[in-house]
Amino acid sequence: MLYIGVDLGTSAVKLLLMDEKGKIHNIVSKEYPLHFPRPGWSEQNPEDWYAQTIEGIRELTAGCEKEQVAGISFGGQMHGLVILDRDDRVIRPAILWNDGRTALETDYLNQEIGKDKLSQYTANIAFAGFTAPKILWIKKHEPENFAAIAKIMLPKDYLAYRLSGSFCTDVSDASGMLLFDVKNKCWSKEMMEICGVREDQLAKIYESYEVVGTLKESVAEKLGLSLGVKVIAGAGDNAAAAVGTGTVGGGTCNLSLGTSGTIFIASEKFGVDSNNALHSFAHADGNYHLMGCMLSAASCNKWWMEEILQTNDFAAEQAKIKKQGKNHVFFLPYLMGERSPHNDPSARGTFIGLTMDSTRVDMTQAVLEGVTFALRDSFEVAKSLGIQIQRTKICGGGAKSPLWRQMVADIFNVKVDLIESEEGPGYGAAMLAAVGCGEFSSVQEAADKLVKVVETVEPDPETAALYEDKYQKFRQIYPAVKGLFSVLDN
């Protein structure tokens, strides 16, 4: 049988066709626009997601035996706010995960409601990118739109709704809304009251591998697929990527170098970081995980290469980097503000340490190092909780760079495992579809049978020692300049 994984990203939807043995038969990517109405704001039109997904599935399945397609599932950008009225019309553009407009609402939740109460209700505190602060922003700034809300959705769940008619979400994606009681896997009555929303406006909750419905007749006809094709709930992009890299079960770790950057630590037990520097979410395997998320990771490198250096030849620029661990330039990668562990939407990208002999190569290296150092900040929080991690999987666009993979191994001083099918959320989503269709008895079984490590990058002791010294300097920069960011923001 064949399974479709839909990775609904920030810049494009990437679709993957996989068989029951894990072999990838086809991959299709369809881009759509990203809008920045004001500095720090980030929006998209949900109709663009749907239109490109439909077109992408058509293209994806054009050369296959369509009757073999058994299921479709999703890995989607998290936290985005999609609101529909009573006629199922999208009320306004979706406010995305990397949107920073909700600083006041976030402060209200953390300071007035209180971090302790939020953690008690949801296992997390408020971050500007989360969904609940966005709802409060709509309530305050667009009261007519707020009054018209009949359904509140996350991005991937909008696709599931359009394909199947099922108003659904999954536990991993719901965990990032700040409306969900993660420990008990249900909507938080306290948070609904705080945000002024009703439970009937929120979706039915499923485990990530559960079937939510089948293709609507009109959709099946449009795609040329069977009416019996099952639609499986899917997961937030990070949880889906973790499934796709085999990061399931207790004590496993995955590091994602995508548009955003994450460190993802799977756990069989529910747990909360007492300082809430890491997110405590439900996992797509039926268990839980801790996650640190930075808003700009590989996107920092993309910005530096394309906007500043005006080149698309990333590999050629990285080939010039020779002195790992010895660069005197530092870069703070907070181009869209920052989440873990600083929770500071006012933070901005910063170069420091420039001298007359600083070169283009030094600055390119600093961008890669800065992203990796910032990810290590979350890694250090996990270590402070007594979690010992000796190795990690790696995925995302940045993971395709051998230099960056080695940098991660040296800066984290851990072994880095590269897997055979590094297709992140799309592959994980296809695996969830296979589990939902009964191909595997569990997500763990699917991971054990389908995910294969093909290369391990070992840290170089000498370079790791140099980077340890540089990291200790890096971690002093943000506290030193933090006060300037709010001044610049105003």
Show Cβ contacts of residue 109 under 8 Å, excluding neighbours closer than 6 positions: 118, 125, 126, 132, 133, 136, 178, 194
Angle at 240 between CA 306 and CA 216, to 5 degrees: 105
Spatial contact of 447 and 18, defined as CB atoms under 8 Å apart:
no
Q: What pLDDT shows up at residue 421?
A: 78
Q: Structure tokens of 285? A: 């395997």
The sign of the dihedral angle between the CA atoms of 192, 197, 200, 203 is negative
For the chain, the maximum distance between any two Cα atoms, rounded to a whole number of angstroms, is: 66
Spatial CB neighbours of 314, under 8 Å, sequence gap ≥ 6? 301, 305, 401
How many other CB atoms are there within 10 angstroms of residue 90's CB atom? 17
Beta carbons of 35 and 42 less than 8 angstroms apart = yes
Tens-place pLDDT, residues 460-471: 999 999 999 999
> Three-state SS for 235?
strand
Active site residues: 237
Amino acid letter, residue 118: L
pLDDT attached to residue 422? 74
pTM, whole model, 2 decimals?
Answer: 0.87
What pLDDT score does 39 carry? 87
What is the model's pLDDT at position 174? 98
The response to whether 78 counts as a known ligand-binding position is yes
Q: Taking the C-alpha atoms of 436, 439, 443 and 447 in order, what is their torsion angle to the nearest 10 degrees? A: -140
Rounded-to-integer distance, Cα 166 and Cα 473, Å: 51
Residue 38 DSSP symbol: S
What are residue 157's phi and psi, to 5 degrees? -70, -25
Rounded to whole angstroms, the Cα distance separating 268 from 210 reads: 19
**pLDDT attached to residue 154:** 98
Average pLDDT, the chain: 95
Task: Please measure the distance between the N-terminal and C-terminal CA atoms of the chain and give it in whole angstroms.
Answer: 56
3-class secondary-structure state, position 123: coil
**b vs e for 433-471, b when ≥16 Cβ sit within 10 Å of the residue's Cβ?**
bbbbbebbeebbebbebbbeeeeebebbeebbebbeebb
- Topology given in CATH for the domain delimited by 2-238: Nucleotidyltransferase; domain 5 (3.30.420)
Ranges of residues in the chain with a pLDDT under 50 are none
